[in-house]
Amino acid sequence: MHEGTYGWIQECGDAVVRVSGQTQPAYADFRPNGARLYLDKGSTKGSQGRHPEPPHSALDERFLDRGRYERLSQLPALLIEVGAYCGLIREARDVFVDGHFYSCVAMCGISFERFQRDKAKPYAATRKHSMREVRDILEKNKGLKSGTFTLCEEMANLRNDYAHGHGLKPKEDALKALEWMHRFIDNETNLMRDYVIVDGVLIRRRSQTA
């Protein structure tokens, strides 16, 4: 079976859910839900005096200590539009769960750059453009929603601090970087803005003005 699956349930990856009226697959990461459920159940022993088994998808050596479950439980579940950035998002989240906080800040910064470059492609941005030029292109063409530009600039500054060895609070800043990344996702790629789940299928919400 693919990584992140058990039985017939896939917790993380592309094409996890069906989207009504949309041929493009969605990307989901529901592993934090399993971690929270495991930790909640683990707070009290079962009827036979045993702690609950960990989620099957987490049964590998990276997920055998409680600290990893606790860090995973701090992250939101994701249901977003699929894209090349999804692998970067997963890596940023995974290195945080593994306790590599410097790497997490760096990966969040890289994810932000990929987000922005993907958004700027329709406006003729190329790899030769600097990130400042990419942001200028996006701002000129209203390629990002209000508030997203501030997140991009803050993330670039934080990533530069750590890239040059100036980071002082790795775990705290890793959580901050992840929060900014998830806010970017909420602004720009979160499918749940426009859909609701009905019988396991994503259905587009009706227009408020309809």
pLDDT in tens, 16-56: 556 566 666 778 888 888 888 888 876 655 444 444 555 55
| Residue indicated by tokens 């501030």 | 150
Question: Is there a contact between 205 and 196 (Cβ–Cβ < 8 Å)?
Answer: yes
Query: What pLDDT is attached to residue 201?
Result: 63
Query: What pLDDT is attached to residue 29?
Result: 87
| Residue indicated by tokens 């439980």 | 73
CA atoms within 13 A on the CB side of 144: 27
Query: What pLDDT is attached to residue 79?
Result: 81
Question: Is there a contact between 22 and 195 (Cβ–Cβ < 8 Å)?
Answer: no
Cα–Cα distance, 102 to 179 (Å, whole number): 15
Query: What pLDDT is attached to residue 49?
Result: 46
Cα–Cα distance, 155 to 113 (Å, whole number): 9
Token pair belonging to 57:
């998808």
Domains, in order of start, for the chain: 5-204 (1.20.120.330)
Q: Which residues of the chain have pLDDT under 70?
A: 1-10, 14-24, 42-64, 192-193, 195-202, 206-210
Q: CA gyration radius for the chain?
A: 19
